[in-house]
Amino acid sequence: AQSVTQPDIHITVSEGASLELRCNYSYGATPYLFWYVQSPGQGLQLLLKYFSGDTLVQGIKGFEAEFKRSQSSFNLRKPSVHWSDAAEYFCAVVPTGFQKLVFGTGTRLLVSP
């Protein structure tokens, strides 16, 4: 079935440590790819997007993501996590030929002191 998978429901990292959040999709053609963040009680904020071109994309707040076609993945990374990064992170795709945004299951990031 076509889907967006975020294998990690929860992740805890220490402040200052690096972070990688995983995202895999199962669509035949490369979709448009996005990462959004949802802070407690807040709406969704776009971190970054990939449509084509350079497979390493830079976003806001020091985040980056790498698209790997062979692995159908679009993992989100940050070299040094801050306590304010604690939030829910959603990977999302626009499947080729569709006019809608499909969200993954989400990963809740906890940051320990």
Partner 1 sequence: SAVISQKPSRDICQRGTSLTIQCQVDSQVTMMFWYRQQPGQSLTLIATANQGSEATYESGFVIDKFPISRPNLTFSTLTVSNMSPEDSSIYLCGGGVGMNTEAFFGQGTRLTVV
Q: Residues interacting with partner 1, by CB under 8 A? A: 32, 34, 36, 42-44, 46, 49, 51, 90, 94, 98-106
Distances 69 to 24, 25, 46, 61, 101 between C-alpha atoms, Å:
10, 10, 22, 25, 19
Of 25 and 104, which has the nearer Cβ to partner 1?
104
CA angle, 22 then 27 then 31, to 5°: 75
> Minimum distance from CB of 44 to partner 1 (Å)?
4
Of 86 and 102, which has the nearer Cβ to partner 1?
102
